[in-house]
Amino acid sequence: MLSTWKKYRLGDLSTKITKGTTPSTVGGKFLDSGINYIKSEAVSYEGRIDTSTFVYIDEETHEKLRRSQLEKDDILFSMAGIFLGKTGIVKPEMLPANTNQALAIIRLNKTLADPKFVQLFLRMPDTVRFVNNMSAQSAQPNINLEEVGSLELDLPPLYEQQAIAEILSAFDDKIELNHQMNKTLEEMANALYKHWFIDFGPFKNGKFIESELGMIPEGWKAQKLQDITEVITKGTTPTTLKKQFVQTGVNFIKVESITESGSFLTSKFAYIDDETDNLLKRSKILKDDVLITIAGTIGRIAIVPEYILPANTNQAIGIVRANQTLVSPIYLMQSLKNNVIREQLFSNVVESVQANLSLGVIGSTVVVVPDLEHRLVSSALDRLKELYSLIEQNMVENQNLEAVRDYLLPKLISGEIRVKDADKALKEIV
């Protein structure tokens, strides 16, 4: 440890370490709008708080839960559940807000510690591993507030904490901006798809014909997925071949690797070696394959971009490979997200030990297939491709930014690289 750095317990740096309460314990309930209520699933190992997952409580319940009312720069830290050590910093635009007992609230003495610096320490892989190893091994792993306060970290002077946080936060800010841009691009793609292929806006003055899915433009067809695809299959867990996951190698995608919105969380990928990948030939993933989660969590849908390849997957994920002479992969992905199609799929989910959607049901699902030769259809599909190309570019940039940030994070936090040498270190690795 550098001479100007000092070791502290997190509790000694905090004015408050507490946790929340479930609203039902004070007679409250969740509402469609009101005071933001943040659950553990809102925070991530990337240090983000996902506002789309917020639920809401009323003013009266918020007042009763006074202990867990949040303030600007509070650090939220997951302390119960299978994913311990996720973090997020409360921003002014999230307030007023409250939280539950699965999240610790760490409120720092800002004359000693910079919240962004401390959160960066908590995000380090070594810290996350340590927290998960100290958790009680029970049906629901957890750590208590005393254990959160006992975490030790080395602190440089406050000005250096702030300088380190500024360098690393610049990466996070750009990554967050790209996420927001992608959200906007996805909304544009969804709106375009709805206008052209659900509402048939540009075709309303043309001829329509009756189909299994209602009236559709002349020249279009209602077809089963099995008739417009090359492959409908699913993966295999490596352990069935007596193979194990490895530290690095071919990306292996699980259900938790795919978000509700259809993007990929590379931090949730597992890895297999080349030999295992070759043995699992059936489930090798190609660019533009459409993935759909079919076991446990049903119906998460994503289209495979180039940057995650090579990749493979397990039996909880279905692989739908379009016959591109008959249907566009992006159109197919958008169609599977369509509420009418999702109702077809979900009405055939089998509930046993866990929910399951069979490959046969996917294959027999009927979708509307537009006439690819039509000039307007071709124009709309080209625009969809452009939007998803921009999304992929942003995700590739984020992957590169994350790699650089994750390289610098432990080195700056530990003092191995000093702030004055950060630019030199960046030039060496970029």
CATH code, domain with 323: 3.90.220.20
184 falls within a domain = yes
174 falls within a domain = yes
Tell me the pLDDT band of 205, cut-offs 50, 70 and 90. confident
Minimum mean pLDDT range among 56-70, 157-171, 287-301, 410-424:
410-424
Residue that terminates a domain, selected from 152, 173, 204: 152
210 falls within a domain = no
Q: What is the pLDDT of residue 189?
A: 94
Q: What is the pLDDT of residue 52?
A: 84
Q: Is the pLDDT of residue 319 over 90?
A: yes
Specify whether 107 is located in the same domain as 160. Answer: no
Specify whether 14 is located in the same domain as 117. Answer: yes
Specify whether 232 is located in the same domain as 189. Answer: no
Q: What is the pLDDT of residue 137?
A: 53
Q: What is the pLDDT of residue 325?
A: 95
Specify whether 81 is located in the same domain as 135. Answer: yes
Residue that terminates a domain, selected from 353, 369, 385: 369
Specify whether 398 is located in the same domain as 314. Answer: no
Question: How many angstroms separate the Cα of 231 from the Cα of each of 217, 228, 307, 360?
Answer: 27, 9, 21, 12
Q: What is the pLDDT of residue 143?
A: 87
Tell me the pLDDT band of 69, cut-offs 50, 70 and 90. very high
232 falls within a domain = yes
Q: Is the pLDDT of residue 326 over 90?
A: yes
Residue that terminates a domain, selected from 369, 384, 401: 369
Q: What is the pTM of this model?
A: 0.80
48 falls within a domain = yes
CATH code of residue 399: 1.10.287
Specify whether 291 is located in the same domain as 358. Answer: yes
Q: What is the pLDDT of residue 2?
A: 63
Q: What is the pLDDT of residue 261?
A: 82
Specify whether 61 is located in the same domain as 123. Answer: yes
Specify whether 14 is located in the same domain as 44. Answer: yes
Question: How many folded domains does the chain comprise?
Answer: 3
211 falls within a domain = no
Q: Is the pLDDT of residue 136 over 80?
A: no
**Residue 74 lies in domain:** 9-152
Tell me the pLDDT band of 252, cut-offs 50, 70 and 90. very high
Q: Is the pLDDT of residue 422 over 80?
A: no
Tell me the pLDDT band of 82, cut-offs 50, 70 and 90. confident
381 falls within a domain = yes
Tell me the pLDDT band of 330, cut-offs 50, 70 and 90. very high
Specify whether 342 is located in the same domain as 362. Answer: yes
Specify whether 257 is located in the same domain as 176. Answer: no
Q: What is the pLDDT of residue 86?
A: 92
Q: Is the pLDDT of residue 12 over 90?
A: yes
> With pLDDT > 90 as the criterion, what percentage of the chain qualifies?
64
Q: Is the pLDDT of residue 138 over 60?
A: no
Q: Is the pLDDT of residue 20 over 90?
A: no
Specify whether 41 is located in the same domain as 135. Answer: yes
Q: What is the pLDDT of residue 428?
A: 65
Mean pLDDT to the nearest integer, 196-225: 92
Mean pLDDT to the nearest integer, 136-163: 85
3 falls within a domain = no
Specify whether 59 is located in the same domain as 186. Answer: no
Mean pLDDT to the nearest integer, 172-176: 91
